[in-house]
Amino acid sequence: MLPLAFEVVATPDLFPGHSLSFIDVGFDDVGIRIEYTIAPAVAMRVPGLGWVGYGRDDLGNDYEDVGGAYGQARDGDRTNGVLTMPFPVDEARTLRVRLRPGRDAAAFEDKGSPAYEVMVSLEL
């Protein structure tokens, strides 16, 4: 994975007693990969718990995630996850990504649903 610069924009308290941190952002052949960790670990069998990612580039184009995964780290102290976003159009310079718990896609501007946010620089 080739690294990209990023800035954390929002970290709401969506899981009391847990914190989500963005740990790495980069790209590979599939898309832009956003890696995160949640500490302490979350139970993997929480009904309805999943992650939805959506983004908007600096040109106003919207994107939905193309997949991801999460699971408990080997040491059991945290949950590690990754979300993959499609490549934005070539002219875009930044991509703002919102990550929220759930299963249904939502519009980027859905302010009724708090989300973790990260701004990704697309310039190499």
C-beta separation of 66 from 82 below 8 A: no
Q: What is the CATH number of domain 2-121?
A: 2.60.40
Per-residue model confidence as pLDDT tens digits over 76-93: 899 898 999 999 999 999
The rounded radius of gyration (Å) of the Cα atoms in the chain is 14
Which has the closest alpha carbon to 51: 31, 71, 32?
A: 71
- The mean predicted confidence, pLDDT, of the chain is 87
Q: What is the pTM of this model?
A: 0.87
C-beta separation of 6 from 120 below 8 A: yes
pLDDT at 114: 86
Residue 74 CB-density burial (10 A; 0-12 exposed, 13-18 middle, 19+ buried): exposed
Candidate ranges 13-17, 18-22, 43-47, 73-77; pick with highest mean pLDDT: 18-22
Residue with tokens 């994975």: 1
